[in-house]
């Protein structure tokens, strides 16, 4: 008789962490609103801000990122946005409710979000 290993989803194992990946083509805007309930992470619906956020451009293209300013037009350089080239990352230590990404070139982005409480 084999050992039975209980199944736990990542959200059960690490209730304060969320890992998101997005891959888009050039010219695409992607908006993540974490407090309105529009994002489902495994069996949970996200409805809170995150205190620690890392946005990592793991693809080969360039992206432009802003947080807590979904109204900004990221198609051109603007104060309040950060341009990330391939391999660059942005780390934020404040309450993040929204992340907006503009893909200047085709790329892949990974986000690690941590909350001080269960999400």
Q: In CATH, what number is assigned to the domain containing residue 108?
A: 2.60.120.10
pLDDT of residue 78: 86
Does residue 62 fall inside a structural domain?
Answer: yes
- With bands split at pLDDT 50, 70 and 90, how would you rate the model's confidence at 114? very high
Residue-range definition of the domain harbouring residue 95: 23-114
Mean pLDDT of the 7-30 span: 82
Would the pTM of this model clear 0.95, i.e. be above it?
no
Does residue 66 fall inside a structural domain?
Answer: yes
pLDDT of residue 95: 94
Does residue 63 fall inside a structural domain?
Answer: yes
Does residue 93 fall inside a structural domain?
Answer: yes
> How do residues 88-109 score in pLDDT, each as one tens digit?
999 999 999 999 999 999 999 9
Query: Residue 42: which of 7, 6, 9 has the closest Cα?
Result: 9
Does residue 11 fall inside a structural domain?
Answer: no
Does residue 18 fall inside a structural domain?
Answer: no
Q: How many domains does the chain have?
A: 1
Does residue 2 fall inside a structural domain?
Answer: no
Query: Residue 23: which of 105, 112, 114 has the closest Cα?
Result: 105
Structure-token pair, residue 63: 């992206």
**pLDDT exceeds cutoff 70 at 85:** yes
């Amino acid at each position: 008789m084999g050992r039975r290993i209980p199944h736990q989803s990542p959200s059960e194992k690490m209730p304060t962490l969320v890992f998101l990946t997005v891959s888009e083509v050039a010219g695409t805007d992607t908006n993540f609103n974490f407090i309105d309930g529009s994002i489902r992470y495994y069996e949970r619906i996200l409805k809170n801000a995150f205190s620690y956020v890392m946005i990592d451009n793991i693809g080969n293209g360039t992206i432009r990122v802003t947080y807590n300013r979904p109204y900004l037009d990221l198609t051109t350089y603007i104060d309040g946005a950060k341009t990330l080239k391939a391999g660059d990352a942005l780390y934020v230590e404040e309450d993040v409710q929204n992340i907006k990404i503009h893909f200047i070139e085709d790329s892949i982005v990974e986000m690690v979000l941590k909350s001080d409480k269960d999400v």
